[in-house]
Amino acid sequence: MERTSLHPSERGNIRLSFEYFPPKNEEMETQLFQTVADLASFAPAFQTVTYGAGGSTKARSLTTVRRMIGEMGFRNTAAHMTCVGAPRSEVDAVVEEFLACGVHHFVALRGDPQGGVGSAYQPFPGGYENAAALVKALRARGDFEISVSAYPEKHPESRDAAADIDMLKRKVDNGATRAITQFFFDNDHFERYLDQVRRAGIDVPIVPGILPINNLSQVMKFAGLCGSTVPDAITSRLAHLDDQPAERFREASHIAAEQIVDLVRRGVRDFHIYTMNRSPLVAAVCELLGYVRSPVKAEERAVDESIKTAAGAR
């Protein structure tokens, strides 16, 4: 449809990246690596693997990153790193493990408070006090990419937008090379935020986080926790389609594609897509935008076959 298409001249200089989370069991592991292999055909600039606050997913995150880089050959894989709930020595040791896996890009985050989202944050005794301190420590280790978080609608714990942007500036001044935003659905929020960021003297790329809506009620719950809003214009397009999965899927893919097209026409060129470890909706969005899958390389076919073989053996 015309409303979701990009002209080839627009699409040619756009970069996509994808986010994944480490699987909790063998079935989720199979799904994850099938998703990674599938979406690799859209040639992402990089892909990231999340890391639970306090090291709650340490082993699974390390295993996922190691496999994506070592077995699947995706050397553009970035590792999330949090510093909440752990001493500096423990965080530093995990960073060294990621570096040993071949990581050259970190996504440096403070992490949710130990009491959960909404509880008061307290720096861990002997730990990095915030993401800015973690960025500084990572930068001291080498010249690699460091992405950080940004919040077009303000972080729920920030007293105001100015404090939020001040924290982002501290992270950039300490060595961050990119900021990836929390998901949002109103592009006017992002444009206003970007204007504020630039006026504050922050000149690194600010990459919009895009969340295709697989499950509306789940997304609305996420949005409530992280301070994002879901406009009525979106809920009205999806809320009545719970018993029409094919139509809901089609509408959700158009919503995400329309958001990206509008941002492209506002001058944005980089997009980070939260995949939720599922490829169908993300692939549908990419195809609506006019992306053509790259031919599958021999090594990628081998990876796909190994995934299928492993799944069949379980």
307 falls within a domain: no
303 falls within a domain: no
The whole-angstrom separation of Cα 28 and Cα 41 is 21
Section 161-178 average pLDDT: 96
Question: For residue 306, what are the contacts with CB-CB under 8 A and spacing of at least 6?
Answer: 71
3 falls within a domain: no
What angle, 0 to 180 degrees and rounded to 10, lies between the N-to-C axes of helices 88-101 and 131-141?
50
210 falls within a domain: yes
Confidence (pLDDT) at 51: 94
CATH of the domain at 94: 3.20.20.220
Domain enclosing residue 43, as ranges:
8-289
109 falls within a domain: yes
β-pair type (46-49, 270-274): unpaired
What is the count of structural domains for the chain? 1
**What are 172-220's pLDDT values in tens digits?**
999 999 999 999 999 999 999 999 999 999 999 999 999 999 999 999 9
Section 104-109 average pLDDT: 97
Contact 78, 49 (CB under 8 A): yes
194 falls within a domain: yes
Q: Would the pLDDT of 284 be above 50?
A: yes
- Clarify whether 2 is annotated catalytic: no
**What are 108-118's pLDDT values in tens digits?**
999 876 555 55
Q: State pTM to two decimals.
A: 0.90
Residues 2, 10, 19, 247: which is the catalytic one? 19
242 falls within a domain: yes
Confidence of residue 124 (pLDDT cuts 50, 70, 90): confident
118 falls within a domain: yes
